[in-house]
Structure 1
Amino acid sequence: MKNYVVKKYQSTSYSLWNEFVATAKNATFLFHRDFIEYHSDRFQDFSLLIFDEKENLKAILPANKVGDTIYSHQGLTYGGLILNQKSKLQDVLEITYNILRFLNENKVSTLNLKQLPSIYAQFPSEEMEYLSFILNAKLVRRDSLSVLDLKTDYSFSKDRKQAINRGIKNNLVIKEETDFKVFWNEILIPNLEQKHNAKPVHTLEEITFLKSKFPKNIRQFNVYKEDEIVAGTTIFVYDKVAKPQYISGNSDKNELGSLDFLYDFLVNEFKHKSYFDFGPSNEENGRKIKEGILFWKESFGSRTMVQNFYEIETKNYSLIENVLI
């Protein structure tokens, strides 16, 4: 078993980390340190860098620590082990062995992996799916994502087309904005408070800061009727995927057709991408599905992919020792 050196992330590795993210086979802008650290006050960072014996960086693990458990990463939509483009299965076996042994020796009992959905990777990258089997990992959650494959001959349902036409007849106008204030204060925050007694994951100040750091990846589109905002979306744009992070409309959204009108615009705006990710419709760690929301997403032509969440006991690193024969 080849030895790798596992080190905790320090600020002195800021540039090295980000350079690795930029060329990794399964990374997105969410793994840039500027994104990970915008909410550093909420998490105890325990990110790891993994080096070979020649001190070449071979993998990273964005992570935070709670008690004796490491999560990858609770502040991100997805995580997992980030690899360079040349990584092969044997490399990942040995890297994972060394990571788990390092964690076990540092009194970390459990590693919780929030896997990157396959559509976000630049190259095939499901080594950890295989290793979860080898390590007797516990599948603690599985979300069903509604994904539209933009390379196929997809079509919207009759209901969606009718709603889109309502938007056209109501003379709705979509504008890209650089300021999130109107959408946050007039649509998003009031809706979340009223419907779910909740707040956006990102504050207005946080999303504005992230936009300043990632202007091409975070974009805001608002829907107006006679210069009054009626709906909007904050969309995260990746190399292969476009994904609305927030989307919401006022109380007249069904009558106006504003959200359907907006989604029709977005799908066409990002049709040069490979996928449009409508996100999950789950509750209770994936065991329940909000039927109405799922129906609405699938009526745009989206179909199901999954995101897996695993719990791995670090003491199981020895199970990797005899995999290769």
Structure 2
Amino acid sequence: MKIKKYNLNSKDIWNNFNKNAKNGLFMFDRNYMDYHSDRFMDNSLMFYEDEKLIALLPCNVVENILYSHQGLTFGGFIVNENMKQGKMLECFEVLKEYMKENNFKKLIYKSIPYIYHKIPAQEDLYALFRNNAKLFRRDIASVVDYGNMVRINSKKRNKINKSKKSGIDIVYSDKFRDFINLENEILSKYHNTKAVHTSDEMEYLKLSFSNNIHLYEARQSSQILAGVVVYEYDNVIHTQYMANSDEGRKIGALDLLIDFLINEKYTDRKYFDFGISTENGGQFLNHGLISQKEEFGGRGVIYDFYELCI
């Protein structure tokens, strides 16, 4: 087995493997990963056995630390249905040798949550354990399981029914400027930060992945009150961004929009992932944020982070 460092000449090979992988996702496509290539020093790896590609590992590097991957919600090994446990252990042995040869002192590894797997794909977690990797961070996401939905409480349902009488229109949009402006206004006011993506970046990504990235807005008299950007995967709908204006809060605009997405738009999926409600490396739980997600029936799924030292 050998490792090849990814380069542009391998773009189509990478993308084709990811497309057919048992845990491949559109955000591992090079057209997605490379839009912010100026922010990260890419060091993605391709694992070959007898000249046959058997695994991908999206990575970036900072000094002598390998990350998988700082520019993505999660990273980890991308493998197809032929990957078995013994072979994954071999991948880790070859990876450790590669890291030694290139003077990397450790790997920071963000595993893909199981709900994003097309078929079971947790061979990497056992290999991490066998190699004494340290679990150093856990984030908690809130997920609606369409096969076992939790009933929304009557108070929330009454609020949503009231919102339906407020003249709010749910609209689909491919223009992100109004939404990102609202998102940045809220993030600046309450969290002293801003959105990771600009409106231009989101519109570029939308053009590149028109079947996967969607913006839904709640508007009243053409004014945006709330919005949700969803990333659509085979089994999962993930809320990448959610924003609610002060006026939207008063009349339940975001609640109405989320109810539409969960109970009307995406009922054909397995899971609806609201994303994490933790900060400070998982040590701080935002109780207000997670309670809103739990009111819609979201329940806990873990996002794990590991440190593998060489």
Q: What is the TM-score of this pair, normalised by structure 2?
A: 0.97
CA distance in 1, matches of 2:24, 2:118: 8
- Per the alignment, residue 262 of structure 1 pairs with 257
Instruction: State the match for 1:56 in structure 2.
Output: 52
Equivalent-residue separation in structure 2 for 1:124 and 1:111 (angstroms): 23
What are structure 2's unaligned runs of at least 5 residues? none
Measured after TM superposition, the shift of residue 96 of structure 1 is: 1.4
Q: Tell me the residue number matched to 2:24.
A: 27
| Aligned residue type for 1:20 | F
Aligned to 1:212, which of 193, 207, 210? 207
Q: Among all aligned residue pairs of Structure 1 and Structure 2, give the percentage whose two residues are the same amino acid.
A: 38
Between the aligned partners of 1:313 and 1:110, the Cα distance in structure 2 is 4
Mapped pair 1:170 → 2:153? no
The Cα shift of 1:171 comes to 1.8
Tell me the alpha carbon deviations over residues 252-294 of structure 1, each in whole angstroms, 9 at most, x when there is no partner: 2232111110110110211101000011110111122111111
Matched residues in 2 for 1:66 and 1:183: separation?
32
**What is aligned with 1:183?**
179
Q: How does 1:271-290 map to 2 (within 5 A)?
A: 271-290=267-286
1:78 equivalent in structure 2: 74
Indicate the residue corresponding to 1:249 in structure 2: 244
In 2, distance between residues paired with 1:193 and 1:293?
A: 16
Alignment match, 1:318: none
Q: Residue 149 of structure 2 contacts residue 297 of structure 2 at CA under 8 Å; is this kept in 1?
A: no
2:28 equivalent to 1:47: no
Aligned length: 309
RMSD: 1.0
Distance 1:299 1:62 in 2: 35
Q: Any idea what the Cα deviations from partners look like across 1:174-215, whole Å, max 9, x if unmatched?
A: 000111122122x11211122122111011111111111100
Alignment of 1:1-325 (within 5 A): 4-52=1-49, 54-185=50-181, 187-268=182-263, 269-314=265-310
Q: Deviations over 1:290-316 (max 9, x none)?
A: 1111111111111111011000013xx
SS in structure 2 of the partner of residue 169 of structure 1 = coil
Letter in 1 for 2:23: N
Uncovered stretches (5+) of structure 1, i.e. residues with no partner: 315-325
Distance in 1 between the 2:185 and 2:44 partners?
35
Worse-matched range after superposition: 198-207 or 43-52 = 198-207
How many angstroms apart in 2 are the aligned matches of 1:190 and 1:287?
A: 26
Q: Which moved more, 1:163-172 or 1:255-264?
A: 163-172
What secondary structure, in the 3-state scheme, does the structure 1 residue paired with 2:164 have?
helix
Find the aligned partners of 2:155 and 2:280 in 1 and give their Cα distance.
29
Alpha-carbon deviation of 1:162?
2.0
Partner SS for 1:255? helix
One-letter identity of the residue aligned with 1:278: F
Query: Any runs of at least 4 consecutive aligned residues in structure 1 with deviations exceeding 2 A, and if so which?
Result: none
| Cα pair 2:144 2:299 within 8 Å, conserved | yes
Judge which range, 146-155 or 266-275, deviates more: 146-155
**Cα distance in structure 2, aligned partners of 1:153 and 1:239:** 19
Question: AA paired with 1:242?
Answer: I
The letter of the residue matching 2:34 is E
1:154 Cα offset (Å): 2.7
For residues 146 and 279 of structure 1, the distance between their equivalents in structure 2, rounded to whole angstroms, comes to: 6
In structure 2, C-alpha distance between the alignment counterparts of 1:296 and 1:96, rounded to whole Å: 40
Q: Structure 2 counterpart of 1:58, which letter? A: I
The two structures have a TM-score, normalised by structure 1, of 0.93
Is the partner of 2:224 in helix, strand or coil?
Answer: strand
User: Equivalents in 1 of 2:155, 2:96: separation in Å?
Assistant: 50
Q: Which amino acid aligns with 2:300?
A: T
Question: Which deviations, in whole Å up to 9, do the C-alpha atoms of 1:24-78 show, x marking residues without a partner?
Answer: 01110010001111100011000000000x2000001000000111000100000
